[in-house]
Structures are given as C-alpha cells and as structure tokens.
Structure 1
Amino acid sequence: MVRSSKKARRLVADEETYLWSVGHRHHGEQGRYRDCREFLSIRRLGARGRLLIVFQEGAGRLVPDGILHAGAVGTEGSWLNLNEPGTVRALLDEALTGGWQPDDPSTAEVDGWVMFDTVAARRGA
C-alpha cells in the first residue's frame, strides 16, 4: 500500500525550484502492517532525475504506523517532520553535499537515516 501527498509542493533553494512530496509505503498482512517506510521524493523543476529519501522502520527507528502523523520519522530522542519545508531543505542540502546530481536522469534512492542525525541537529529536533 502506498500513500503520498496528492500534489507536489514547491521549494526554492539557491535560485533553483524543486518539487517535493511525502509518502508512506507498507505491506498489510493478517491485519497488521509490516515493512513500513516513509519517503520524501524531490526533483528539480525541468530535470528528469529524482531523489527518493527513504526512512525504513526498524532498529529503534520509527515511522508512522497509525499512531504518528504522516511524515513523522524519528528515534526515541529526535523527530523530523517531512512535511515541513525547512526539513525538506535540510535533507536536500545534505543530499547535494553528498553528491546527488539533479540532472542525472535516474532515480537516486538514499537511506534517510544516514542523514537523520545531521539534519535533526540542524533543525534542533
């Protein structure tokens, strides 16, 4: 099952316009959800490439499961709201610093937990 925001939102960063949306994926099995993941999709306006930042549930890392609001990801000590433009900007900046190229026509999938601590510190989460 996939849920995502209905319309891409705009973010202007360093004179470039990006489109982004937040979504949630999981598999249902015998009335229970498993393999929950929250994702943030970003692409630069006019570019073919896309960045998919995925937050997979597990190992003390939490994503929405009907208790938390959609877009919430965190650990027991820190939380990020993927629906906040400031959080999206911080994740975009980290991805660009890490080498993501918006003009690359492929979809780059990144483990969001790798960037979590840095972005949470930047956001004061």
Structure 2
Amino acid sequence: MSREPDEWVDEEAGPVVRPYAVARGRTRPSSPAIDLLSHISATTEPMPSKAELSAQHRRLIGSVSGQSRPVVEVAAEMNLPVGVIRVLLGDLLDYGLVTVRPPHAKAGVATESLLREVINGLKAL
C-alpha cells in the first residue's frame, strides 16, 4: 500500500511517522559514496519492475529530476534527516534511478590564521 506524501505529516502534530520507519529501520545507506555534499541527479532509466518504492522515494526522484543537487539540500527540502535521505538514495542508486557525483573540489583549504580571524570576528559580535 502506497502512502501519499501529505499522509506522513499532520499540520498540527508534525511528522506522524518516525524517520526510521520511513527508512524501514535501516540506518546506513547501501553505498558509502553518498556523502553529505555529494551531488545527486536522476537518471533516465525506467523503473525496474522489482522496485519497491515508497512515496518518499518518488518524492526524492522528483526532487533531483532535471538537476544535480547536494544531498544535504535535498534533505532540507524534504524535511527529513540526512541519514534517512542517504538510505533512500542508496535504494535508488541500487535500482539505477539516480547517479552520485562526489562533491566539487575545494578551491583552497582554510589556513589557521584565517580561522583565527573568523573566531575573533565572531567573538567581537
């Protein structure tokens, strides 16, 4: 039985299903490649007949269709913990419905002096 996305949240009470239930009790994604800053995009592969996708899986595919987005951004949009999103993305990756790209290379690493300046600036506030 498939649930519609609006059945997961009650406007007054908030989420009516615990996050671990959305992820079917799993806490780890099937692929370690799914990092917080990894970019996810939907593929054009057809849905496999054996795929057991929940409403959250389908919402997730819709969220990354036509664009590449970081995992953390998708989690914020879907209002689910990043751990749950990573588990759901692992399912979609296993079915070939999404691709995962590592985060973009950093322009440079912050130096100790820069970090000290930031800390001093924050203390001055």
TM-score range, shorter chain: under 0.3
> Is the strand fraction higher in 1 or 2?
1
Higher RCO, Cα 8 Å, sep 6+: 2
Larger Rg: 2
TM-score relative to the length of structure 2? 0.23
Q: Which has the higher helix share?
A: 2
